[in-house]
Structures are given as structure tokens and as C-alpha cells.
Structure 1
Amino acid sequence: MIYLAADHRGFALKGAIKAWLLETGYEVRDLGAPELDISDDYPDFAVAAAEALVKDFDHGKAILICGSGHGMDMVANKYKGVRAAICFNTSVAKQSREHENANALVLAADWLKEDQAVEIVKTWLNTEFDDAERNERRLGKMREVEGRNLK
């Protein structure tokens, strides 16, 4: 399941990504914004996506979209077990999956064209985690930090 969420600045890009995901055969749960509302707030949608992801760690991934990507990323990473990564090109997207096992992709709608964003999503979804010892060790250290700081 792909949990998809965007605020007003990411609304149009969310529509394009959702269409591509559905055409490609992915199961998508759209967590908003349900309509364009320039007064909406990115934390509301980041919370919805992060909470859905926390309940579905084994099978779920999230894609969050706002203007800069930073707001959604900051909120999502407040949740234990969420590893959200802002990706601005396919190389960064690939590394976020291979090395950090990111389970949430964050996109900056103000800085990406639709075709760029779709390529980033495609790369991110098609890249598997490289479970080399060093990557597992680093994820273990992240979990230790989470255990101390996120309840």
C-alpha cells in the first residue's frame, strides 16, 4: 500500500503521481488533501500519512508532497520507525532506499516538474534495501536513537 498525502502546494503533483501509481498497478490510499485549499496545513497530512505507515510497516510506504518538502519531512520523522527522505533526483532516491531503507518519500513540489517527480517515485519504489552489514548496523543505531528519544 502506498499512502499518499499532500498539502495545497503539493496538490497538483499528488494528482499526477497518484494517476501514475494507479496506472502502474499500485494500491494507493489518498490521505488528502481531498481538494485544493490554500489555507490547509502540511502537518495535518503528514500526520495522516505517518500514522497510516506506522500501522503498516511490513507492507506500506508513504509519499508526502509539500512545497519545499521540509515541513512534511520534519513532521513524518517525529514518528517512531518512519524514515522519511526528501529526494530531489533519482540518485538520491535510490540511495535513500539502498542505504537508509527509507519508507517515506518526500517531494518538493515547488522545485520538481511532474516528469522528474514520477521518475523519482519510480526509482524509489523499484529500489530495494541493501542489507549489507554496514547498512544494518547504521539502521540499528537509528533505532537506538529512536528508542531514547521517541516514545
Structure 2
Amino acid sequence: MKQVTELRIAITNDHAGFELKKKIFDYLQNQSPLKLQDFGCQSAESCDYPDYAHPMAKAIEKGLFDYGISICGTGNGISMVMNKHQGIRAALCWNEEIARLARLHNDANVLSLPARFITEEQALAMIDAFFTTGFEGGRHQRRIDKIAAPQPPKGGV
């Protein structure tokens, strides 16, 4: 990974993402400077990803972390949980270019990974791309603002 300025990164997973999380965590611990916190889970024993994703999302919401990595079998469920939180823009990524574009165009702040469908090498390449790519802004900022806008009331547009 290219040198980055003191990032604060949170990481969470379910049982399907446990082994990949350990490898990613070890990789990130060797990068500096950054603050890294593991929100669990801590085994391959079956668990419910919302129990781990919600606390991490809340910590990012509070400004305790700049970015997050969420990992489950498909990446779908855990990214859905993350995106329920205000200010979270979790992007489910499956290759390096998608991860780069998630940052460049969507200002994603959580990288969601599908542990059952990617290799460790692919995951690390996505992490490098995600954390070394800045947000392009411009027309993309308008879109981010629209995503963050309040939703219309139920039953009306």
C-alpha cells in the first residue's frame, strides 16, 4: 500500500469473513501510520453480521474512524446494514477497479468485501486501490448530496 496519512480504519466481519479479515488486519497492521480497530467477530463460528456491523457503523458516524472495511460471505448483507447509517456509503466491491471507482466517484467510506468470492490477493489489491484513491468531487459531489438528502415521506413523492 502506498504511504497514507494517519487513517483511522475500522474493520468488521461475520463468520464467513473471519479468515479473510485476519489476513487483511495483519496486512494493515504493517502499514503506518494508521489506527486500526477490529469490531469482530472473532471466530468462524456462525454469527449474525448486524451484531458487529452496527457498532462499527456507529463508530464511523461519530467520527471515531475515517473508513471501514466490512466482510461477509457475499458482502451484500453486511453492506446493507452499513448503509442504514447516516453518512455511511458502503460499496460492495469485487475487483480493484470497482474499489477505486467507489472512492473516486462515490466517496465511499466503507469497503464491503465478498469473502467467498475473492482471493486474499484480490482483497489486498482492492484495499490498496480504495485507500489510495481520493474523491474526485465535481459532478459526483452533487450525486453524493442527493444520496444524503432526506427521503420523502412514506406514501408520497
Please give the TM-score of this superposition, normalised by the length of structure 2: 0.88
Residue 143 of structure 1: aligned partner: 148
Report the equivalent of 1:27: 35
State the alpha-carbon separation in 1 of the partners of residues 21 and 12 from structure 2. Answer: 7
How far apart, in 1, do the equivalents of 2:21 and 2:100 lie?
Answer: 20
- 1:90 positional shift: 0.7
Which residues of 2 match residues 1-151 of structure 1 at below 5 A?
Answer: 1-25=8-32, 26-38=34-46, 40-56=47-63, 60-132=66-138, 134-144=139-149, 147-148=150-151
Percentage identity across aligned positions?
36
1:41-98 Cα distance to aligned partner (Å, 9 max, x none): 11111112111110117x5100000000000011110011100000100110011001
Code of the aligned partner of 2:21: K
Unaligned runs of 5+ residues in structure 2 are 1-7, 153-157
* Shift in Å, 1:139: 0.9
Structure 2 letter corresponding to 1:94: R
Rg: which structure is higher? 2
Asked whether the equivalents of residues 21 and 27 of structure 1 are also in contact (C-alpha less than 8 Å), the reply is no
TM-score, normalised relative to structure 1: 0.91
Are the aligned partners of 1:11 and 1:36 in contact in 2 as well (CA < 8 Å)? yes
Question: Structure 1 residue 125: deviation in Å?
Answer: 0.5
Q: Secondary structure at the match of 1:99?
A: helix
The structure with the largest helix share of the pair is 1
Deviation at 1:35, TM superposition (A): 2.7
Could you tell me how far apart the structure 2 residues matched to 1:81 and 1:27 are? Answer: 20
Deviations 1:12-36 (Å, cap 9, x if unpaired)? 0000000111101232100001233
